[in-house]
Structure 1
Amino acid sequence: MIVGTAGHIDHGKTTLVKALTGVDTDRLKEEKARGITIDLGFAYARFAGEAVTGFVDVPGHERFIHTMLAGAGGIDYALLVVAADDGIKPQTLEHLAILDLLGISRGLVAITKADLANPARLEGLTAEIRGMLSSTSLREAEILPVSATTGQGIELLKERLAEAEGATIASSADGRFRLAVDRCFTLSGAGTVVTGTVRSGSVGIGDQVVVSPSGLAARIRSLHAQNQQAERGFAGQRCALNLAGEGISKDAITRGDMVVDRYLHAPADRIDAELSVLESEPKPIGEWFSARFHHGSAEAGVRIVPLENPVPPGGSGRVQLVLDRPIAAAVGDRFILRDVSAQRTIGGGRLVDLRAPLRKRRSSERLGFLKAASLPHAGGALVALLDVPPFLVELDVFARDRALSEEELQAAISFAAAEVIESASARYALSANKRAGFSDDIQRVLTAFHAENPDLQGIGRERLRLQVTPRLPAPAFLVTLRAEQVLGRLVLEGAFVRLPGHEVRLSDKEEALYAQILPHLEGEERFRPPRVRDFSEMLGVDEREVRRVLKLCVRLGRVDEIRHDHFFTRQATAEMVEIIKDVAANVERGEFSAGLFRDRVNNGRKVAIEILEFFDRQGVTLRRGDIRRVNPHRLDLYGGPAPEAVEGRDSSPVGRPDFKF
């Protein structure tokens, strides 16, 4: 259990922690000289058997509220301190408001310096404190008079902390690892060490991690958990991590950074959130309101954009937070807002969507999405998200932004009874109803297209994708089309899609003419076939008729028109794609000239260039000057591997359109 102190300056927080643990948490020379806490202090003690209870001692001065927030973000139990001789003061109220906004409901109020007050004073102060707590998450907290000088109530307080430690439910370590850094220093003989509270997951010696948002990669050389050397640290524990890696140093890591599982590194600077405003605020939070944003141990400037109406004092609403720098965060994390002059706390809330859009942020569809995304249970949120536009969830983004492990993600998918569409670059979920409707929608569009265009081979794949709901990304759409083809519901022919029963047929006369043409398109001459005028002279048939029949065969997928009046069989086209792949595979960086291709097909330079320009237009090759390279994402047009089978830049979250940094 992690206990955090809270309360006004000089009310005895540090002295109380020393009486409980024997540790003076004021470690800085200035703290000793001035007799006040300036930075976070830490102490540990055993109250319940072998369990180690950690203490985070925070400053009480109003100038150091930002430091108090850095320590309060990871606590399990609040120890609110009120001095018997001084009573409730401004920072008592502000600290209590912060604890309430952070959702901390477990805690105890210690009336310190009880030896300086008579029973009547203690009774009256207890009543005041009870009234102060009545509308907060600590309304059930016990109030104990204590004195570090005489020892009054100290043993009873230790008993209460032991009971709280025993009642603490261990945080789940199933999620992905995140540690909010509150200190970074260099230790002689070890190197760079960071300390903080593990927010989720677990970490062990030798694990590879990332310091976010900077993106520095590191390895865990050794660690301490709850002030003890350990092999592994778990969620809910305070840990010290000895980091090693290129660029890792005391100056490279600061308070506010997070050490995370590599999968989670995806900083955010535009976040949609739920905001609650304190009743003490003088006016509503309106458009582009400036404030200071506190999350975990991080602090940043922020502009607030209400998504519905201005958020009134004592009220709540959905807002968009536009940060002046990216932070590492997770959906569901709590945050606090303070005014830009650091004079008062404005409010706080929960993060809902880390990839908030700049446009259409107030649309009804967007607000429906946020309502669904705000559900705390991952499975429940997935169910709700699949029921609102765009009726599609990218599962890896969903899991990453919630710091879910693969096991937790699979549990959410099972809870939602979701249908998964999986490609090498991404996984998507649809509800069972939407997946069935998606198949029906494809059938509807194909049927209508064939009715309006009976002489066309089929509809273009991209055109079909844009007409069905939900609108899947192109690689995932191709996966679904192939699944539909396996079930016999449609036929894929290159870049075209048709119903199984649809076929553009040639007449007997047209078939007879094509039968005369076909032998000249195959065999050794397949890469340099005659042109339309050559067939006209060779067969004694009108040039327009030859052209018309060959264009019908293009629609049937039998041939491809590489250049005007120059037709190749589809088999020859596919074979040339394989030749291009082989040529590219055997040259440096996969870049080849037209001459290398010409030599392989044993063709003239002019025809070879015409063929390559055809593949340029199809997107199979990418040209820069006289050099070309293969575009792996278009090879499926002619029977090559599917685009999702090629690993590339999009496998990184930073390369995907959901990632905004």
Structure 2
Amino acid sequence: MRVVATAGHVDHGKSTLVRALTGMEPDRWAEERRRGMTIDLGFAWTTLPGADEPVAFVDVPGHERFVTQMLAGVGPVPATMFVVAADSGWMPQSTEHLDALDALGVRDGLLVVTRSDLADPELARDEALEHLGESSLGRLPAVCVSGATGSGLDDLRSALSALVGGLPAPDVDADVRLWVDRAFTVRGAGTVVTGTLGAGTIRVGDELALGSRTVSVRGLQALGESVDPVRAVARVALNLRGVGLDEVGRGDALTTPGRWLRGDVIDVRVGPPRGRGEPVDLPRQVMLHVGSAAVAARVRPLSRSDAPDSDETRTVRLTLREPLPLRPGDHALLRDPGAHRVLGGVTVLDVRPPALRRRGAAKARAGELAAADGAPDAVAELARRRLMRRDDLVALGASIPDGVPGVAGWVVDPGWLPSLADRLVAAVARHTEEQPLDAGLPAKAAAQALDLPEPRLLDLVLAEPGASSLVAAGGRIRPREAGGLPDAVRSAVATVRSDLAADPFGAPEAHRLAELGLRTRELGAAVKAGALLRVGDGIYLAPDAPDAAVARLADLPSPFTLSEARQALGTTRRVAVPLLEYLARQGRARRDDEGRHALR
């Protein structure tokens, strides 16, 4: 299926033309037929001669009071049938419709001069072609017809076939974003929404995101027939399970869950309106039109309004009244509803922009975005943001190339890692100087020092050549060659180890440790560094003491008493009791009910 929006004129000529082409009545309301004026969106479809698939029409209102409805209809549609009446010619509403199409970047279309039975159509055709030629549509093919007499309709059908046949093939595997243009209830079925599916595929049973909730597709229709699946491009009606009519309406979007970022602050580039070579001064409050949505927005320019004409002068930040599912590269338009004018087309550049807190941040931000074209680019996004959640990067529409470093659901700009390695080395050195007795900088503190949201990202930093002097162990990061102890503590521990070499189980008493400057913190650091072994409260031995004790105790008859063990070890009860308890905790010895000991 292909979808075309009919735009351009205020009177009943468009609807008459669509009716003549399709045999269907696009005006759904009795008031529309009574007044001869399209008030809301109308829908019809037909199969063109020689075409493999039908073409659907979205008939949009032409009157200036219904511009919001018109934009809701043309926003998601890739091509237009621009209608001008021969007896009226170009009208103010024609200009506003063309300004909107130009701002949205619509490039495919067909000019139709209708009511040709009432006046010579050539003057209206030539005038319209001149206006169209100054827009994104360019020089369009033109057909003169009469919906009342049927004159020229065969030529129109042929021209439409050529138009839809030349449209780009849709991406049926793309993530779904269906902008809702109608919502109503059907007895026995519940809530139904309609929209133009521009990309992707929807199936019965699919889960789709509606704002912050997930909804299920109960049924699908296209062109009045039940279908499953429905593939872009198509006019589609979705029967939603468990959704009330008051919970969904025009301007909402149904999206593939987890694949779109909803944002209420976006950075955009605003192009000049049609016919203007430079940007216009934007009011502080505007309406952003994208898809079928119309959302009030507050404008913050990102550079001085008197700056020389450049990309920077057209870059602004929009704060939206409500969040929308957008991606870089999306096209939209800004409109001043009070002045009834289109202010310019919008290209979305960033849907998760950084906060602007410091003086000069807005101008710097404009410089960052000067070269951005809105096309999703994972490498460029990472280079700009340095660190992103993998799912968020995918939700921007970017394809992550192989080899991008990542861990724990995060991806990192590889060009940022050398700088992080230098910062980590400096942070560990600073911690070692300030806390010489610590066994290293805790991983959580290291991540905070580098502004990393996840300590496991440190693995990527430690793999950098610039961090080769560091080692991670026990949840801490320390210098690889430092041994973890300051010189004074290392010297005191060496004295204790020398004494223990002569008397392996002669644990130094508290006064001796104090004389050497080994207090609680120093002793704890020595134990963490593996230089001493704490076997009990106040009892410190060499790390190999348990093995040496087992070797001596093995010569005793089993079981043996505490006194026999003390004599075999050549030590006192003060040391023998905690040492045997330590061996029991290790599973290398046991104590029976009579208080005797045995090796396992």
TM-score (normalizing by structure 2): 0.77
Aligned to 1:441: 422
**Aligned match for 2:470, one of 486, 490, 513:** 490
**In structure 2, do the counterparts of structure 1 residues 333 and 464 end up closer, same or farther at CA, with 3 Å as the change threshold?**
same
1:102 aligned to 2:76? no
| 1:133-156 deviation digits (Å, cap 9, x = unpaired) | 222111121111111122221101
Following superposition of structure 1 onto structure 2, how do residues 419-498 of structure 1 map, counting pairs within 5 Å? 419-423=404-408, 426-431=409-414, 433-435=415-417, 437-438=418-419, 441=422, 445=426, 455=436, 457-461=439-443, 464-465=446-447, 472-480=452-460, 483=463, 490-498=470-478
In the TM superposition, 1:220-369 aligns within 5 A as 220-245=217-242, 248-264=243-259, 266-278=261-273, 289-310=284-305, 317-341=314-338, 343-360=340-357, 362-363=361-362, 366-369=365-368
Query: Counterpart of 2:124 in 1: which secondary structure?
Result: helix
Residue 387 (structure 2) aligned to one of 383, 392, 398: 392
Question: What is the correspondence of 1:191-206 to structure 2 with a 5 Å cutoff?
Answer: 191-206=190-205
Number of equivalences: 525
Residue 246 of structure 2 aligns to a residue whose secondary structure is coil
Cα 1:465–1:368, aligned 2, differ >3 Å: closer, same or farther?
Answer: farther
- Distance in 1 (CA, whole Å) between partners of 2:275 and 2:463 is 59
Alignment partner, residue 401 of structure 2: 413
Cα distance, 1:281 vs. partner? 8.7
How far apart, in 1, do the equivalents of 2:8 and 2:149 lie?
Answer: 21
User: Does the 8 Å CA contact 1:372/1:385 hold for their aligned counterparts?
Assistant: no
Tell me which of 499, 502, 505 is aligned to 2:479: 499
- The one-letter code of the counterpart of 2:217 is I
1:569-621 deviation digits (Å, cap 9, x = unpaired): 9x9xxxxxxxxxxxxxxxxxxxxxxxxxxxxxxxxxxxxxxxxxxxxxxxxxx
Q: 1:200 to 1:69 in 2, by over 3 A?
A: same
Give the corresponding residue for 1:152.
151
Deviation at 1:499, TM superposition (A): 3.4
2:575 equivalent in structure 1? none
Residue 370 (str. 1) matches residue 358 (str. 2): no
Mapped partners of 2:236, 2:137: distance in 1: 27
Structure 2 CA distance, aligned partners of 1:184 and 1:299?
A: 16
Counterpart residue type for residue 299 of structure 2: I
Query: Where in structure 2 are the equivalents of 1:596-611 lying within 5 Å?
Result: none
What is the alpha-carbon distance in structure 1 between the residues aligned to residue 56 and residue 227 of structure 2? Answer: 16
Deviation at 1:383, TM superposition (A): 2.7
**Quick check: 2:295–2:321 contact (8 Å CA) kept in 1?**
yes
Whether 2:556 is the aligned partner of 1:556: answer no
CA positional deviation for 1:17: 0.7
Equivalent position SS for 2:28: coil
Secondary structure of the residue aligned to 1:271 is strand
Distance change (3 Å), C-alpha of 1:59 and 1:445: same
Task: Give the aligned residue type for 2:518.
Answer: E
- Of 494, 504, 510, the match for 2:493: 510
Taking the aligned partners of 2:382 and 2:260, their CA distance within structure 1 comes to 25
Contact 1:277 1:315 in 2 (8 A): no
Q: 1:304 to 1:558 in 2, by over 3 A?
A: farther
Q: Distance in 2 between matches of 1:500 and 1:322?
A: 49
Distance in 2 of aligned mates of 1:138 and 1:49: 24
* Match in the other structure for 1:646: none
SS state at 1:419 partner: coil
Kept in 2, the 8 Å contact 1:225–1:232? The answer is: no
| Equivalence for 2:548 | none
**Higher helix fraction (1 or 2):** 1
- Pair 222,328 (structure 1): closer, same or farther in 2 beyond 3 Å: same
Q: Tell me if structure 2 keeps the 8 A contact 1:11–1:112.
A: no
Is the contact between residue 23 and residue 43 of structure 1 (CA under 8 Å) also seen in structure 2?
yes
Q: 1:219 aligns with which of 195, 216, 221?
A: 216
Structure 1 pair 145/340, CA: closer, same or farther in 2 (3 Å)?
closer
The answer to whether 1:31 aligns with 2:32 is yes
Q: Which amino acid aligns with 2:294?
A: E
Mark the CA change 1:172 to 1:500 in structure 2 (over 3 Å): closer, same or farther. same
Cα distance 1:568–1:21, how it changes in 2: closer, same or farther (>3 A)?
A: farther
Q: Assess if the C-alpha contact under 8 Å between 2:420 and 2:461 holds in 1.
A: no
Corresponding residue of 2:581: none
Q: 1:116 to 1:383 in 2, by over 3 A?
A: same
Q: Assess, with a 3 A threshold, how the Cα gap between structure 1 residues 243 and 558 changes in structure 2: closer, same or farther.
A: farther
Q: Is the 8 A contact 1:442 1:464 kept in 2?
A: no
Give the conservation status (yes or no) of the 8 Å contact 1:276–1:314.
no
SS for the counterpart of 1:24 is coil
SS in 2 for 1:51: coil
Q: Is the 8 Å Cα contact of residues 279 and 313 (structure 1) preserved in structure 2?
A: no
Matching of residues 117-132 of structure 1 within 5 Å: 117-118=119-120, 122-132=121-131
Go from structure 1 to structure 2 and tell me whether the alpha carbon gap of 1:19 and 1:70 turns closer, same or farther (over 3 Å shift): same
Partner residue of 2:518?
A: 545
2:559 maps to: none
State the alpha-carbon separation in 2 of the partners of residues 329 and 129 from structure 1.
34
Letter in 2 for 1:413: P
Kindly indicate whether the alpha-carbon contact (under 8 Å) linking 1:279 and 1:314 is maintained by their aligned counterparts in 2.
no
CA deviation digits over 1:77-126, x for unaligned, max 9?
110111111110001011011111111111011011112223xxx33333
Q: Secondary structure at the match of 1:251?
A: helix
Contact 2:261 2:327 in 1 (8 A): no
- Kindly tell me: are residues 325 and 467 of structure 1, through their superposed partners in 2, closer, same or farther at Cα, counting changes over 3 Å? closer
Map 1:3-22 → 2, pairs under 5 A: 3-10=4-11, 12-22=13-23
Deviation at 1:489, TM superposition (A): 5.8
Once the two structures are TM-superposed, the CA of residue 32 in structure 1 deviates from its matched residue by 1.8
Could you say which residue in structure 1 is the equivalent of 2:593? none
Tell me what 1:207 maps to.
206
Determine which structure has more spread, i.e. the larger CA radius of gyration.
Answer: 2
One-letter code aligned to 2:479: L
Distance 2:162 2:521 in 1: 89
Q: TM-score, normalised by structure 1?
A: 0.71
SS at match of 2:394: helix
Displacement of 1:551: 4.9
Distance 1:283 1:108, change over 3 A: closer
Partner of 1:112: 114
Distance 2:277 2:64 in 1: 19
Q: Letter of the aligned partner of 2:289 in structure 1?
A: H
Which 5+ residue runs of structure 1 have no aligned equivalent?
518-531, 572-661
Equivalent residues in 2 for 1:45-84 (5 A)? 45-47=46-48, 48-84=50-86
Superposition CA RMSD, Å:
3.8
Q: Would the alpha carbon gap of residues 57 and 222 (structure 1) be closer, same or farther in structure 2, given more than 3 Å must change?
A: same
Tell me the residue number matched to 1:578: none
What is the aligned-residue identity percentage? 33
Amino acid in the other structure paired with 2:3: I
Q: Aligned letter for 1:260?
A: T
Kept in 1, the 8 Å contact 2:300–2:317? The answer is yes
| Alpha-carbon distance in 1 for matches of 2:368, 2:490 | 54
On the 8 A contact 2:510/2:538 being kept in 1, the answer is no
Q: Return the letter of the residue paired with 1:65.
A: V
- Structure 2 unaligned residues grouped into runs of 5+: 501-506, 544-600
| Structure 1 stretch displaced more, 162-171 or 129-138 | 162-171
Q: CA 1:450/1:25 → structure 2, altered by over 3 Å: closer, same or farther? A: closer
Aligned twin of 1:603: none
Q: 1:200 to 1:484 in 2, by over 3 A?
A: same
Distance 1:279 1:241 in 2: 36
